[in-house]
């Protein structure tokens, strides 16, 4: 073990930085997570489920987001208290979690479902789905846009935050316009009925499909863990003691410590932690939970009003175009263009946040854990991983297009693998927060109970999915 892994330093003693700015001056990390969350689960997977099965299972989308709210709370708790990423916390429990989470991140996100879906949305908006250019060509265009946003400015976080905030605004306004244009009282009533129909699962839906839908209501998979990086780069809590991740293409970068800090339980530190903890709660409740719930229900509402009454279950790759076309019939060309813009903003925002989050995750795990990795700055590793990821995404899209595999298959597989990752890291996050944090920072009773419930849900579905896989193959 010692030959493979770099020794992890103990926490350094340090006081928590004081929270000096009001919430709206330092808001942002939760908004990036919303931009990530309103991706394929909201615009493709859940609307397609509603188009096929109606409103009966909408409750699961609402529950999925609510469970992830508590997960994000605990990810935020670790980072504001220590300044470390949660991945470093997992490595404090067992060094073997380092390669496991690299593998989970790689397997969960390497197939570029969002990149291809984003490229298709751009193609549909500009030239129509049957227009000029291959899927690969348009996907390369969107990946080029991602690279420009991430590696144009000196500090990557700021361009990421501003871009995704703009995209979220476009999505929200567009969805409200669509809802008012196609909605009726009966559709709203049907939507409400699905929300309160808790526990119902359509008998035609497999355990695997339901697990995927539950995971992708919200960020899902290891994407919830990206919150740890955005808090650090925004200098929230103990993250204020660490430098921001800088663009290695724009000059000299600062060395980011691999391990974090722990504060002594003085009255001042106790008050400072409570102030930062209130920030995390407000950030997640307002942005992730409230805004995410509203947007997913608006996407579902559109499918319920436009697709389901006509009995249209879109084929893979055409849901956004099909819904936009029907909106065009109801509302004219303006409706079609608005929905295509919403689709592009949604999917590109997710693609951008995923490339960044995957790059940060693997770079952080490698830099922190493996011998010799700290000879290079974490920003160098980020550039290497992100650049490789973008090139691989374009190549995989080309291969899959030639093989006739749709982006929907990419997305479902990502959610499926992400669910197994959640079955591991949800209880693990609760464990490190109880084991390592000072008493005032440990999870309270309500947070602990909700994390136990979330753990049981994801572990239960992971086991059920394995049993389902075995039984379908034997059968």
Alpha-carbon distance 95 to 98, whole Å? 6
Tens of pLDDT, residue by residue over 404-452, are 776 666 666 667 788 899 999 999 999 999 999 999 999 999 999 999 9
Asked if CATH classification 1.20.1740.10 holds for the domain at 12-474, the reply, yes or no, is: yes
CB within 8 Å of 41: residues ≥ 6 apart: 213, 215, 216, 217, 218, 220, 296, 415
CA-to-CA dists, residue 455 to 59, 88, 198, 357, angstroms:
19, 20, 19, 23
* pLDDT tops 90 at residue 391: yes
| Highest-scoring range by mean pLDDT, 269-273, 374-378, 462-466 | 269-273
pLDDT for 137: 94
Tens of pLDDT, residue by residue over 120-157, are 889 988 988 888 889 899 999 999 999 999 998 777 77
More confident residue, 273 or 115: 273
* pLDDT tops 80 at residue 264: yes
pLDDT for 318: 64
Average pLDDT of the segment spanning 48-54? 88
Alpha-carbon distance 415 to 227, whole Å? 18
User: DSSP letter at 197?
Assistant: -
pLDDT for 254: 64
pLDDT for 44: 75
Six-digit token pair at 370? 């493996």
Neighbours of 285 (CB within 10 A): 15
Whole-prediction pTM value? 0.93
pLDDT for 406: 65
Query: Per-residue b/e over 251-276, b at no fewer than 16 CB within 10 Å?
Result: eebeebbbbbbbbeeeeebbebbeeb
């Amino acid at each position: 073990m010692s030959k493979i892994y770099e020794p992890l330093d103990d926490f350094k003693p340090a006081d928590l930085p004081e929270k000096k700015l009001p919430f709206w001056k330092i808001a942002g990390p939760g908004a990036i997570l919303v931009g990530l969350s309103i991706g394929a689960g909201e615009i493709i997977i859940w609307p397609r489920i509603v188009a096929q099965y109606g409103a009966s299972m909408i409750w699961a989308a609402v529950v999925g987001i609510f469970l992830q709210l508590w997960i994000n709370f605990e990810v935020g708790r670790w980072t504001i208290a220590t300044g470390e990423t949660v991945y470093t916390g997992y490595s404090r429990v067992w060094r073997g979690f380092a390669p496991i989470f690299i593998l989970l991140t790689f397997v969960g996100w390497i197939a570029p479902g969002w990149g291809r879906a984003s490229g298709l949305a751009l193609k549909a908006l500009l030239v129509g789905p049957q227009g000029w250019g291959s899927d690969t060509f348009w996907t390369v265009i969107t990946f080029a846009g991602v690279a420009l946003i991430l590696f144009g400015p000196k500090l990557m976080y700021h361009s990421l935050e501003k871009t995704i905030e703009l995209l979220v605004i476009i999505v929200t306004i567009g969805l409200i316009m669509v809802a008012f244009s196609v909605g009726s009282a009966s559709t709203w009533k049907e939507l409400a009925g699905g929300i309160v129909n808790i526990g119902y699962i359509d008998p035609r839906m497999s355990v695997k499909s339901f697990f995927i839908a539950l995971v992708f209501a919200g960020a899902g998979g290891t994407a919830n863990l990206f919150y740890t990086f955005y808090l650090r780069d925004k200098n929230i809590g103990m993250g204020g003691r660490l430098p921001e991740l800088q663009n290695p293409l724009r000059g000299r970068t600062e060395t980011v410590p691999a391990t974090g800090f722990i504060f002594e339980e003085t009255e001042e530190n106790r008050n400072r932690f409570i102030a930062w903890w209130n920030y995390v709660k407000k950030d997640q409740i307002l942005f992730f939970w409230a805004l995410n719930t509203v947007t997913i229900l608006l996407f579902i509402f559109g499918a319920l009003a436009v697709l389901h009454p006509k009995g249209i279950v879109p084929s893979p790759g055409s849901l956004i175009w099909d819904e936009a076309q029907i909106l065009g019939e109801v509302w004219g060309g303006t409706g079609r263009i608005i929905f295509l813009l919403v689709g592009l903003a949604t999917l590109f925002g997710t693609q951008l946040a995923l490339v960044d989050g995957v790059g940060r995750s693997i770079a952080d795990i490698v830099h922190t854990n493996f011998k010799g990795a700290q000879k290079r700055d974490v920003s160098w590793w980020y550039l290497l991983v992100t650049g490789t990821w973008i090139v691989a995404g374009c190549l995989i899209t080309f291969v899959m297009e030639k093989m006739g595999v749709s982006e929907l298959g990419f997305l479902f597989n990502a959610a499926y693998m992400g669910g197994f990752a959640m079955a591991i890291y949800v209880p693990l996050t609760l464990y490190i927060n109880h084991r390592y944090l000072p008493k005032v920072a440990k999870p309270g009773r309500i947070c602990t109970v909700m994390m136990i419930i979330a753990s049981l849900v994801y572990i239960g579905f992971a086991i059920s999915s394995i049993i389902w896989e075995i039984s379908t193959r034997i059968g």
